[in-house]
Structure 1
Amino acid sequence: MDKTKQPYGTVLIKASHILDFLSNCDEPQTLNTIAKETGLTNSTALKILDTLLLIGYVQKNSELKKFSLGLSIIKYANKSMNNLDIKKIAQPHLEELQRLTNETVHLGIQDKDHIIYITKIESKSPICLYSKVGNSIPMYCSAMGKAILADLSDEEIKNYLDCNPLIKLTDNTIITKYDFMEEISKVRKMGYAYDNGEHEEDVICIGVSINGSNKKYGAFSVSLPKYRLTENFHRQIVDAIQNCKLNILNELQ
């Protein structure tokens, strides 16, 4: 007899797949696309979408017949993010980091094998970035993700790599396990991590993890276009990031 505990209400799991898919889309999606990407039939997807529409978790463009996330679920997501202790503690220090560097600053937390952006403080000279609060990014091609992974054991990182293929997103994306482990070794020696245009072309990110009192809180980074990163500015950013991390950790103690 199978004693494995079965989830109650599998329709909720199917609904979560739809919401996960829509949360990663920048544009509204058709029923056919939603059904295909979530492994559901059109009939099942439509029934779930009708319920999600009723409670405001999704919204529908009647003219285009496309679906996107609704305001109700965004409200809950924002409330949850605002309640995160690390966000409240880190916010003033990240604002000071942004003031010192005048570049875009991100705060993220780990969600399974991804980093979710929970704070974004824009540069006064912004560039077009994928990042938005609530968006997620693979750990292997982000400075924050690498910084968090570098705190793990080699065995844990190898398990991560076994479950997450290194997909080439740009010409700079690291795509072999050997090269990635070499990268992690550099992160450990330097005390900070790079995304050298590995997720978005010509965008550099420098990030560090936030670990204190045997607890992992997430990571933060500074993002800027490659052409603005001079040798002197690089040193300035690294110093500012390390000071910011120290200030955050002091409050967490």
Structure 2
Amino acid sequence: MSTLANAMDVLRLMAHLQRDVTVTDVVAELGWPKSSASRTLSKMAEFGFLERDPVTRAYRPGEVVMEASYYFRGSRSASSLLETELDALVAETGYPSYINVLDGSETLVVQMRAGSAGALQVYNPVGTRAPAFATSMGRAILARLSDREVAEIVDPRFEVRYGHAPRTHEELMARLASGREKGWFMSKGEFVKNVAGVSASVIDPASRQIYGIGIALPAQDLTDELNQHFGQRVRAAAMNVGRRIGDSYWLDFEDRGEQQKHQNQAS
């Protein structure tokens, strides 16, 4: 099992660095002894998981990994993986779940899963639009753009006010920064009164399409405790997809809140 775990760590390191790796990289990044790093890389190359560049002597994904990757890409697109997560979100929360994309300055619902029986429903059918800056879904998507791109898309829309939605460029950018750090976004009584949303986002590296994924629920149902719980669950859904398709944000993501918690416990 340790051999498989080591191989997994090497492949994840490649995904994180987005380049070929050397023995020195593995020692520096994973903290392994040089002998262990060299032995693991050599064995992975021997069985086709890696191949070694004859000039640089660095290792890259080998035939076995590439063949599996081609199969995965052909059978599971980013959108299909997100749809699987939608089903899981509904099953676990009982609330409707959505996939949205950005269309101009608005978000557009492209996939929806109805909530389970017993939960008061917030129903936004496919084709529903909303101003991006005034929803959790929209802010999750906007957070994946540069500040300049966000300003060009959103700034002209602040003349219309929606509940507790940001009312200035500076307020919006502060919320985007906070959400980027947590990995998820929340809205409550903004574009639609008495409706709340919890969302995250994924970028498909192949197409550069940004997808938002999240749930919608009555605002009175979203207590502080559930806000944290649903936020972490929606974040996990996006992370599951993002790491499988090579979204660099999720490959590099570290939960600073959890890090701080562990540091406090250690001290």
2:146 to 139, 142, 153: 153
Q: Does 1:136 align with 2:129?
A: yes
Question: 1:23 is matched with which residue?
Answer: none
Question: 1:218 is matched with which residue?
Answer: 211
Name the CA shift for 1:181/1:99 in 2 (closer, same or farther; >3 Å): same
**Offset, 1:128:** 5.6
What aligned pairs does 1:15-54 form with structure 2 within 5 A after superposition?
Answer: none
**Offset, 1:89:** 2.8
Name the CA shift for 1:199/1:136 in 2 (closer, same or farther; >3 Å): same
**Offset, 1:108:** 0.7
Name the CA shift for 1:180/1:217 in 2 (closer, same or farther; >3 Å): closer
Question: 1:204 is matched with which residue?
Answer: 196
Question: 1:177 is matched with which residue?
Answer: 169
SS at match of 2:199: strand
Normalization by structure 2: what TM-score?
0.57
Offset from partner CA, 1:37-89 (integer Å, 9 cap, x none): xxxxxxxxxxxxxxxxxxxxxxxxxxxxxxxxxxxxxxxxxxxxxxxx54433
2:110 to 113, 118, 122: 118
SS at match of 1:195: strand
Q: Distance in 1 between matches of 2:157 and 2:222?
A: 30
Structure 2 residue ranges without an equivalent (≥5): 1-76, 247-267
Kept in 2: contact 1:197–1:203 (CA 8 A): yes
Kept in 2: contact 1:204–1:226 (CA 8 A): yes
Aligned residue pair count: 169
Sequence identity percentage: 19
Offset from partner CA, 1:183-232 (integer Å, 9 cap, x none): 22222222211222111112110111112436233111111112222333
SS at match of 1:199: coil
**Offset, 1:166:** 4.4
SS at match of 1:156: helix
Q: Distance in 1 between matches of 2:220 and 2:80?
A: 32
Q: Distance in 2 between matches of 1:153 and 1:225?
A: 31
Kept in 1: contact 2:185–2:199 (CA 8 A): yes
Q: Which runs of 4+ in 1 moved over 6 A?
A: none
Question: 2:230 is matched with which residue?
Answer: 237
Question: 1:4 is matched with which residue?
Answer: none
Question: 2:29 is matched with which residue?
Answer: none
Q: Does 1:95 align with 2:87?
A: yes
Structure 1 residue ranges without an equivalent (≥5): 1-84
**Structure 1 residue identity aligned to 2:88:** E
Q: Distance in 1 between matches of 2:121 and 2:225?
A: 24
Kept in 2: contact 1:211–1:218 (CA 8 A): yes
Name the CA shift for 1:243/1:161 in 2 (closer, same or farther; >3 Å): closer
CA radius of gyration, larger in = 2
Q: Does 1:106 align with 2:92?
A: no
What aligned pairs does 1:178-193 form with structure 2 within 5 A after superposition?
Answer: 178-193=170-185
Kept in 1: contact 2:111–2:126 (CA 8 A): yes
